[in-house]
Amino acid sequence: MQAVKAVYKEGNIQLLAPLSGVNEAELFVIVLDKDDTTNGVAQAFYAATSSAEQDFQTIGLTHFFNADDDNNVDWEDLFDVKAR
């Protein structure tokens, strides 16, 4: 998967850089209007504000790091990292 930038003008899409190593592909396009007006579908792709705790739970590591065997570990000491 690659991310590419393109320009849409008068019914045509022009890629601003070639796709590397791709002979054939199916493209999925997200349209960002130049005048900052968006419809409901495009609005769904904007990032919602969240806290660091919500981000941590979202990536699924909260269960991994919440095990009983590592609750009392001094990770800074274990990895010999000085406190900042």
Model pLDDT, residue 62: 67
Model pLDDT, residue 36: 61
pTM metric for this prediction: 0.35
Instruction: Provide the residue ranges of all domains of the chain, joining segments of one domain with +.
Output: 6-78
Model pLDDT, residue 68: 72
3-state secondary structure of 6: strand
CA distances for 83 relative to 43, 47, 75, 77, angstroms? 41, 32, 11, 9
Model pLDDT, residue 32: 75
Residue type (1 letter), 15: L
pLDDT along the chain (84 residues), means of 10: 84 87 84 66 60 75 68 78 70
Neighbours of 57 (CB within 10 A): 13
